Amino acid sequence: MLRWILGGREAQNSVEKSPVLCIGEEQPKNCFTELQVLKGHFDIVRFLVQIDDFRFASAGDDGLVLVWNVESGERLQELRGHSQQITAISAFSCGDGFTSLLTASSDRSLSLWDPDTGNRVQTISDLQSSVKCLLVLERLSVWLSGGQELCVWDKDFQLLCHRQKHSDTGVAALVELPKNCVAAAVDKAIVIYRLTVSSDSSVLLDEVSRCSDHHDQIRALINVNDGMFASGSHSGELILWDSANFWNVAYEHILWEESHPSSQTEIRLAAPKPSEMSIQHLTSNGRLILAAVGSGLYVYDVVTKAVVAYRKAAHDSNVLHTMLLSDGELMSCSEDGSVRMWEVQDLPLAAEPASAGFFGMWTFGRSSKQPGPQSKKVLEIPNLRTLELTGDLIGHSGAVQMFLSFREKGLVTCSTDHLLILWKDGERQSRLRSQALFQKLEENGGL
C-alpha cells in the first residue's frame, strides 16, 4: 500500500517505475525547515481539530484526545475517557468565546471536554450506535450527531430530537446549509433536513428534500459558499448543489483515463479500480474546489464550472486530506506518508515543453512522459493550468491521515505511525528564539 519513493540511490533508479514526480532535495519554496515530533498516542492518529490560535487537539484509535500547544509543542492536556477509537471530533464554541471539545467514539458514547482543565464536562454513553459525524450549529446552540440515526442535542447534552435509521450505512457526513437546513450524506443520496425551533425550544427535524444523483456512495460533502455545496462519490462524481433549492448545479465525472494518452495506460493494464477515482476529500475556498481523487488532485472552479488544474499522480497512494491555501497554493497528504505542497501555475508556453527539470534533480525513467498529457490537455481546454509541486514534507513512516495549518505558526500532521509532527518555519522560529533569548537576558540582567 505504501509505496515510497526510493530516490537518491542510483541502484534503485532503474527499479523505479512510478510516474509519480519527485521534487528532490532542493526546495527553495518550502519554508518548513524545522520540525518537532509530538509523541503521546498509542495508535493511529486520525483527527486534528483547532481549538484556538495556539491550541489544537488530536484524537485517534487509542481513544485518547490530546491537547497541544502549537507554539511550544507542549502537551497541555490528556483527555482520557473513551475506551475505543474516536470516530468524530469537533470544536464546540457556544458564543461565549469558550471552546469545548466534542468527541464521539466507537464505544457508543459522546463526550464534551473542557480543554483548559482536561475535565469531561458532559458525557452520554450507551447510544444505540456509534456516531460517525458531528455537526455544531453555533447559531442555534445545538449540535447534531450522525450515525445510524441522526440526533439533535443542545449544549447541555439534552436530546432534542432524533430520526431513526435511514439505511445500513447511516449518515456519513453532515453540512450546515442556510435557513436552518442541514445536508446529510446517506449512502448514495443527500438528504436535506430543516430544523425548526418552536417557541417552547423544542426542535423538529423535517426531511425537506432527497437528492439522489450520485451513482455511488458519497464520500465527501462540503459547503462551497453561501449558495452552493458540493459532494463527491466513490466513483469520482463531483456534484455541485444549489444550497437554496437543492438543485444539481454542475456534474463532473472525473475519469482520469479520458484525458490521458494511451501510452499512459500501459502501466495500468486493467480498467481503473474504483478506488483510483474515489473522491476521498473535498475542500473549498468559496471559488475553487479541491478534490482528492484517488492518488490525484483535481481543482475545479465553481464560477466557470470548469477544471482549473489537475494532477493524476500527485501522490504514490491515496490522498487522504487536502487544503487550499491562498493564491492558488494547495496542500495534500497521502497514504504514502508525505505531505505535498502545490502551486497552481500557468502552463509554460506550448512551444516550451514542461521539462523534467521541474520535477527535481533526480531523473526517473518515466518522468519524461509526464508533460505529455498536459500539453495535450492544453489543446483541449484553453485555460487549463498546471499543478506544480513546490515542496514535500517527509517525516512520517505511515500514512498521513490529516493535517492542520496554523498559518505562519506551522503545520501539524498526524499519521498512522502514532506520531504528530509539527512543521515550522525555521527562520521564524529562530527569530522567536532570539527574541526570547534577549528577553531572558534582560530579565536575568546579563549572562
d(CA 279, CA 298): 10
**Of the candidate residues 3, 19, 36, 378, the single one contacting another protein (CB under 8 A):** 36
Q: Would you count residue 385 as binding another protein (CB under 8 A)?
A: no
Q: What count of other Cβ atoms lies within 10 Å of the Cβ of residue 46? A: 21
Strand partners, 146: 133, 150
Residue 373 is a binding residue for another protein (CB under 8 A): no
Neighbours of 437 (CB within 10 A): 10
Q: Which of 70, 356, 396, 402 binds another protein (CB under 8 A)?
A: 396
DSSP state of 119: E
- When asked if residue 24 is in the footprint of another protein (CB under 8 A), the reply is yes
For the window 45-84, what string marks contact with another protein as x by the rule CB under 8 A? ---------------------------xx-----------
| Beta carbon of residue 425, minimum distance to another protein (angstroms, whole number) | 10
Shortest Å distance, C-beta 33 to another protein: 5
Using CB under 8 A, pick the residue from 15, 17, 39, 275 that binds another protein: 39
Report residue 164 CA to chain centroid gap: 29
Contact status: 286 vs another protein (CB under 8 A): no
User: Taking CB under 8 A as the criterion, which residues in 333-352 touch another protein?
Assistant: 337
Residue with cell 437543492: 246
What proportions of the chain, in percent to the nearest 5, are helix, strand and coil?
A: 10, 45, 40
Q: Which amino acid is at 111?
A: S
> DSSP state, 355?
P
**Spatial distance between the Cα atoms of 271 and 187, rounded to a whole number of angstroms:** 24
Residues 6+ apart with CB under 8 A from 150: 144, 162, 163, 166, 171, 184, 193, 205
Instruction: By CB under 8 A, tell whether 156 contacts another protein.
Output: no
The reply to whether 394 sits near another protein by the rule CB under 8 A is yes
- Matching residue, cell 485517534: 60
Q: Which amino acid makes up residue 145?
A: S
How many residues lie near another protein (CB under 8 A)? 46
286, amino acid identity: G
Backbone angles phi, psi at 44, to 5 degrees: -55, 135
In the sheet that 279-284 helps form, which strands lie side by side, from edge to edge? 279-284, 288-293, 296-301, 306-311
The stretch near another protein (CB under 8 A) out of 19-27, 151-159, 365-373, 381-389 is 19-27
User: Which three cell numbers mark 338?
Assistant: 508525505
Q: Which of 15, 17, 25, 267 binds another protein (CB under 8 A)?
A: 25
Q: Would you say 106 and 60 are in contact if contact means Cβ atoms under 8 Å apart?
A: no
- Rounded to whole angstroms, the Cα distance separating 206 from 307 reads 36
Rounded to the nearest 10°, the torsion over CA 42, 421, 107, 223 is -170
Q: Cβ 74 to another protein, closest distance in Å? A: 9
Across the beta sheet with 109-114, what order do the strands follow? Answer: 86-93, 99-105, 109-114, 119-124
Q: Does 397 bind another protein (CB under 8 A)?
A: yes
Cβ proximity to another protein: between 12 and 93 the closer is 12
- From the list 3, 7, 122, 405, which residue makes contact with another protein (rule: CB under 8 A)? 7
280 touches 274 (CB < 8 A): no
Work out whether 26 is an interface residue with another protein (CB under 8 A): yes
Query: Using the rule CB under 8 A, is 431 a contact of another protein?
Result: yes
Task: Select from 3, 19, 35, 287 the one that contacts another protein (CB under 8 A).
Answer: 35
**Residue with Cβ nearer another protein (300 or 364):** 364
443 contacts another protein (rule: CB under 8 A): no
> Out of 279, 391, 400, 414, which residue is the one contacting another protein (CB under 8 A)?
391
Interface with another protein, residue 27, by CB under 8 A = yes
Q: How far is the CB of 420 from another protein (least distance, A)?
A: 12
Q: How far is the CB of 327 from another protein (least distance, A)?
A: 20
Q: Is 159 in the site for another protein (CB under 8 A)?
A: no
Span from 229-237, 325-333, 350-358, 434-442 in contact with another protein (CB under 8 A): 434-442
Stretch that binds another protein, among 29-37, 46-54, 155-163, 234-242 (CB under 8 A): 29-37
Element (H, E) at 224: strand 218-225
Does residue 436 belong to the site contacting another protein (CB under 8 A)?
Answer: yes
As a whole number of angstroms, the distance between CA 416 and CA 55 comes to: 21
Residue numbers at the binding site for another protein (CB under 8 A): 4-9, 12, 24-28, 30, 33-37, 39, 72-73, 337, 361, 391, 394-397, 417, 419, 421, 424, 426-427, 429-431, 433-438, 440-441, 447
